[in-house]
Amino acid sequence: MFDLVLGTNNAKKLIELRLLLPTDRINLTSLAEIDGSIDVDETGTTFSENAALKATEQAKHLSRWVLAEDSGLTVDALRGEPGVYSARYAGEHGDDDANNQKLLKELDGVPPEKRGAKFNCYLCLSDPQGNVRLEANAACAGRIRTGLSGTAGFGYDPMFEIREYHKTFAELDLTVKRAISHRSRALRMFIPKLLRLVRMESSQ
């Protein structure tokens, strides 16, 4: 069994990742379950930089393998904002309602055809010495609605519409969301690489 720390305290992300990772080979633990974890400052200017910071700094501190993720929303009409500031767009980290309301205000008057957006996910795996060993990223395209709809999900999910389904992430069936989400797509690229690394490490 390969012991892996997920570099987040976000319980919903932990659940989502546990559903996708092979639990017979990967034992996934979140930072919320570990005493002595640290808060890593997300000082990077890109999702990739922040994912690497969160993985390597936490890994060195805990002396454990750490998988970190940085994800967020980029909106075409706002030149890529909120981007790396997605979780703290309105100022306070994790205030979903305030973030959503700010985004709606920023896009007030922007027509539907110009409200294109993407959810982005960047994954980074660090070994216990703080070396980046694996990376993967993916995106899911959609558009921002003029209001919120749906009760599932978190963050910007209630206003992020998948055009093909005419539903927001917060309205989609969970099975569908898992199939098309940015995080799921990134993990589908990442997991085969991880399993090859696990086999390599276990053979040493």
Residue 126, CA distances (Å) to 44, 57, 146 in order: 17, 9, 40
12 is an annotated ligand-binding site residue: yes
61 is an annotated ligand-binding site residue: no
Across the strands, what pairs with 30? 6
76 is an annotated ligand-binding site residue: no
27 is an annotated ligand-binding site residue: no
CA gap 96, 78 in Å, rounded: 19
41 is an annotated ligand-binding site residue: yes
97 is an annotated ligand-binding site residue: no
Which position among 3, 35, 70, 127 bears the catalytic label?
A: 70
CA gap 41, 153 in Å, rounded: 25
Do 68 and 45 contact (CB within 8 A), yes or no? no
Across the strands, what pairs with 72? 120
- CB count, 10 Å around CB of 96? 17
109 is an annotated ligand-binding site residue: no
CA gap 10, 26 in Å, rounded: 19
85 is an annotated ligand-binding site residue: no
CA gap 12, 162 in Å, rounded: 21
- CB count, 10 Å around CB of 153? 19
11 is an annotated ligand-binding site residue: yes
To the query of whether residue 24 is one of the catalytic residues in this protein, the response is no
9 is an annotated ligand-binding site residue: yes
Describe the crossing of helices 182-202 and 11-20 by its angle, rounded to 10 degrees.
60
96 is an annotated ligand-binding site residue: no
Q: Catalytic residue positions? A: 70
Instruction: Please give the annotated binding residues for Mg(2+), written as ranges.
Output: 41, 70
Instruction: Please give the annotated binding residues, written as ranges.
Output: 8-13, 41, 70-71, 154-157, 177, 182-183
